[in-house]
Chains A and B, each alone.
Chain A
Amino acid sequence: MLATVASATLVGVEGRPIEVEVHVSRGLPSFTIVGLPDASCRESRDRVRAAILSSGLAWPQHRVTVNLAPSSLRKGGAGLDLPIAVALLAADGQLPLDALPGLGCLGELGLDGSIRRVSGVLPLVDAINAARVVVPGSCAGEASLVRPGKVVAVPTLSTLAAVLKGEEGWPETPFFLPVDDTGAGPDMADVRGQPIGRLAAEVAAAGGHHLLLVGPPGAGKTMLAERLPGLLPELTTEEALEVTRVHSAAGLPLPRGVLVRRPPFRAPHHSSSLVSLIGGGTTMMRPGELSCAHNGVLFLDELGEFPSDVLDTLRQPLEEGKVLVCRARASVVFPARVLLVAAMNPCPCGGGGAPGACRCSDAALARYAARVSAPLLDRFDLRVSVDRPDVGELMGDGSSSPAPPESSQAIARRVRAARDLAVRRGFALNSAIPARELDVAAPLQPKARTMLETRLRQGRLSARGLHRVRRVARTLADLSGHGGDIREEHVTTALALRGPVFEPEGVTL
């Protein structure tokens, strides 16, 4: 007999519908899975068998064929255990066949018959063509984000069998409400001193400008970067769903309220491989750290220690906000709209980079600077140097800094107001203003124009740098609540925030 149950498999961050067909016929007892299953999928035979026996049901002593349609698509993961078991029991006559139409299943089986969580439930449930979808108990919240009211959480295979036989009613699935649990992250109020670092973080958050922090060890680069998500506005429902989808597919733990409401913060180590950053893989196309930081902050500490080929692959996604990963079997588009924050030491000796303070040889400095390619360096609108706070600042000796540092909340309020100004102008972020629109979106007051012209003539600013400085100046003006023409002070500050980090020693004097 033949039975069919709807399910889905994960390709990248999207689910693809799968029909699980099981045929049970006379013949020597055997169990075959066809339709491009990967290793973890093929192993489901043993899990399914043990789970069925543990649940007090019988393993059919017949010839069993499982087909995962469409057979052209490669299936991965253990999420197909449950649909295989249900279809198998129905085909064997242990469950009524008429219970199956309109039923979708998803879940990994334990040997004891329990139904376990799988990663990517959110996109998977979205893809299943069924009126009612059975999901593992712990995934109910995630699943009901996309199919509210259509999802039932079932704890074990035996419960599901009893329900399908009509012996029990469907278990109550609590109506799920995404609670707001924007827990307080690290706060800017903890950062003492660092006026430039703080300003740069604020500008980065307001205008979406990529930020490079350069400073010696212990200067507080990581501290600043970690606090950046706290300055960003909360994600809109649409953005939150995008992010949750990616996190679900990547198997990342979701917040208590399930929906990722806060901009994510990802800080991959510099030993990370290219695939783990960009996304991909041979069988399952898994989103990389770049996509996990979608709509949030990607922090690359020790930028100079990342292999240069890994860094250079980031360039195109940074411009386009998405990354297309192609493999022989499939190609997948991952979302990748991130705010890139990077940190590095000014020189290999970590001496601080001040002229006269560092003892690195010229060749060592040149080698160090060459680790980050010029095109990538150019992506950073903000390049600032941070340094270790003075002793007085650290100890908070009252006399030097009477005013407590501003809190993240206060800065976030300005950031939100600045972003609103940008949206009203027609651009989501100031960093995305195209060069040809700059004259309209970021007009300059005469003094500001003269200043930029002088810099250009002196060769201290390139044409590309000019556009970037104008965008940052636009954000600075927006932050000060000034939506009109850009003033001289905004240009001066924008130039100061684009420090000449890693330029070879000029032949001066």
Chain B
Amino acid sequence: MSSAPTANFETKPWHGGYSPFNVRWGKLYMWIFLVSDAFTFSSLLIAYGALRHRWTGIWPFPGEVFTHFPFIHGHVPLAYVGLMTFILIMSSVTMVLAVDAGHSFKRKSVQMWLGLTIIGGLMFVGSQAWEWYHFIEGSEEGAFYLADGRFARTDNLEPGVLLFHDGTKIEGAEAEHLKATAVKNVHGANLYENEYGPTPLFGNFFFFITGFHGFHVFSGVVINFIVFVLVSKGALDKKKDYELVEKVGLYWHFVDLVWVFVFTFFYLV
């Protein structure tokens, strides 16, 4: 405080004259918005947790649902979401570097890092589209609601085998008979049913939570692009103020932060 050239009086933060939080209003508002948005995401994830515990006996194991990886025939659980996490963390790093370059008014540098952040964001949204495609498409044979009330899944890698939630398997003629007498055959996933478990809630939460997060990422890409255009036109140099980059940076890191939680509670556990 003593190094401040204009401070010729000493005062406490709440005595007026100073911003008590020591940030400018735009940044403070962004923080307040992020708190409210964090509450929304928390509520969604907590609702997921509550209903998962309510249906604990039939809830699908995420490790058995998200097993696809591009160009690999076989099961690679978690690798793809792991890659998506890497992409998002990477784009968060390029965003910090853009903010850092903004502190020293290096326009070219800000442009480069912000551009890379936008590319990272687009890669993430694209990855999510790929994941949604495979979730909606499902396996070749789908799942069966059997006549005895049980629910059986199938797997492309084990054709003709019925898989049950408790880990048991039925194959051969018995499986064919059960399939022939099944009440219903479900393919892929929609909002009313899915082949991953006998409750629509798993699909509903998947679409809503990852969709809500994906929409945040998409909005972030759009906002980052607008700021990128402003930076490129030199609007921030004219103002001698790169705080705008910091504000969108906060939002972008928040999107990354939410993904860390979605990754853990939707895919890992």
Are A and B bound to each other?
no
Residues of A whose CB lies within 8 Å of any CB of B are: none
